[in-house]
Amino acid sequence: MGRVILPILLILLVALAAPVADARKRNPEIDYLSVAEVLLRDGAVDRAEAALAEVDPAAEGVDLARYHTVSGLIASQRNDLKAAAAAFEQALAAGQTEPMVVLYLAQAYFAEEAWRKVVDTIARGGEALQDVTAAWSMRAHANWMLGERQSALDLLSNAADRFPANTTFTRRQVFYLIEAGLYQEAARVARAFLARGDVGADEYATVGSALRRARAFDEAKAILEAARLRFPADQNLAKALAQVYLESGQMLAAAELLNQAALIDPALLPETAELYRRAGYPMQALALNSRVPDSSRKLKQRIGILAELRRYEQITGMARALERAGLLADEDVRYALAFAYFRGGDFERAESHLSALTRPELFRKATELRRIMAECSDSRWNCG
């Protein structure tokens, strides 16, 4: 029985291993172009490409518009933009009338940053692309990149009117105005945009931050302050506004804003304490530092605040805590501790920490401190 089964299995294996290319000879009626379209819709790009390879574009009766369209879509999936653009051009030349193929061609040119071709291609789509938001976006950006700024802004304004539910057009218009340095106009458009009932806190923060990056601080403050009135509990708005105050030199205002936010988000306490310290309020900074949840970060920051307050005994009293936390591996912390021992007159312990410093700038400071300690060794009363 076993001798009979073995030959049968061998015959089956040979039959299953027949070349795939022979399928066309055995099934001359298979519509490989339609098969390629179906496979492509299902996301099977490799198989779609294999099916399309079975189509001879020079053969009689082949729908070249469809053939080149599928070829272009496969090339797009492969990120071969030049091949995709060439294929879509061939599809249109062969009589393809589907408006989306014009859009695909424009997208291929857009990805290649062929801005003039983008504008011209979308124009070829005519009225059929007027209700496609992507066409408006691409054309506006292409115009902007070509230096045709007023055309770009007009397109975005018209698109915003045509698609009132789509906020991206007005938002991009604001960014373009900021890029052009027209900050007051950007703020005017932004305020009108943000007054809409469907605009959220994140969009306020995005516009305000864009104005801040352009150093249009007054406009950024006006928009973000209005946003805070509308969304008083939003943390991102508080942080965005604090950043505006910080970069415009209003340290205390930034600290006050972050302090309010830190009531909800304790992770902001270290930054808040640092802002108060830099604003000249070390006692407030010290109070906030005591609430920092991260013990290592709290200790490191506390040294800086205590040094500013000249509370050197409190710094030296933290030596064991710093060692337990592994913070003496930080040479800035070790130098601060050495300096505190020096100011307390404990030169021996100061030297024990100075000798561990290797970073060039701290090594130079340590050398200077040793010189001072040597001069003070005989007259410490003169080195208080």
Q: What is the pLDDT of residue 30?
A: 79
State the residue for tokens 């830190």: 262
Give dist(CA 192, CA 281) in Å, integer.
39
Averaged pLDDT, 33-54: 90
Q: What is the DSSP string of 23-52?
A: HHHH-TT--HHHHHHHHHHTT-HHHHHHHH
Scanning 94-148, the segments in alpha helix (DSSP H) are 99-111, 115-125, 133-145
Under 8 Å between Cβ of 252 and 219: no
Q: What is the pLDDT of residue 2?
A: 43
pLDDT digit string (tens) for 223-238? 999 899 889 888 889 9
Per-residue pLDDT for 186 more than 90? no
Averaged pLDDT, 107-130: 94
Under 8 Å between Cβ of 316 and 310: no
Per-residue pLDDT for 12 more than 60? no
Copy the structure tokens of residue 115: 């801005």
CA 341 to chain centre: 46
Mean pLDDT of all residues belonging to the chain:
87
Under 8 Å between Cβ of 284 and 262: no
Q: What is the pLDDT of residue 379?
A: 63
Give dist(CA 227, CA 190) in Å, integer.
12
Under 8 Å between Cβ of 194 and 223: yes
Domains detected in the chain: 16-97 (1.25.40)
Per-residue pLDDT for 10 more than 50? no
Q: What is the pLDDT of residue 133?
A: 95
* More reliable by pLDDT, 21 or 124: 124
